[in-house]
Amino acid sequence: MQPAETCQWRSICHIEEIPVQGARVLRREGQDDIAVFRTSDNEVFAVIDRCPHKGGPLSAGLVHGRSVSCPLHGWVLDLATGSAQAPDEGCVQTVPIKVDGAAVYLEV
């Protein structure tokens, strides 16, 4: 039996540093940026900051409920699953994230 893999988490910010119904961008050299969203219910989600349609910056989109609308063409993406809302098709990659107290962590 192999030992279970353990997740490693990296602290990225305090929840108050993410605007309510807005986003904060984590820049990654040589990799896609990550958009970290905070809903009006203080839920936090993270996705790759690129719409699957035309690559628009999702971090500049409008957050409503648990979704974000791409600022380029209005595609609506579910922040929990990354799936586009019908009739659009596609998916953005989600990134594991958690909140512990007021600290926000990404899985690395």
Q: Is residue 88 part of a domain?
A: yes
Q: What is the pTM of this model?
A: 0.90
Domain extent at residue 81: 15-107
Asked whether the predicted pLDDT for residue 105 surpasses 80, the reply is yes
Residue 42: per-residue pLDDT: 95
- For the segment 78-101, the average pLDDT, to the nearest whole number, is 96
**CATH number, residue 40:** 2.102.10.10
Cα separation, 106 vs 24, in Å, equals: 13
Q: Is residue 2 part of a domain?
A: no
What is the chain's mean pLDDT, rounded?
93
- How much of the chain exceeds pLDDT 70, in percent? 95
- For the segment 8-23, the average pLDDT, to the nearest whole number, is 96
Q: Is residue 34 part of a domain?
A: yes
Q: Is residue 10 part of a domain?
A: no
Q: Render pLDDT for 1-14 as a digit per residue (tens, 0 to 9).
A: 555 567 799 999 99
Comparing CA positions, the residue from 11, 5, 6, 8 lying closest to residue 100 is 11
Q: Render pLDDT for 62-77 as a digit per residue (tens, 0 to 9).
A: 999 999 999 999 999 9
Q: Is residue 41 part of a domain?
A: yes
Q: Is residue 62 part of a domain?
A: yes
Residue 4: per-residue pLDDT: 53
Residue 82: per-residue pLDDT: 97
Q: Is residue 6 part of a domain?
A: no
Amino acid at 41: D
Residue partners of 72: CB distance under 8 A and separation at least 6: 51, 53, 54, 56
Q: How many domains does the chain have?
A: 1
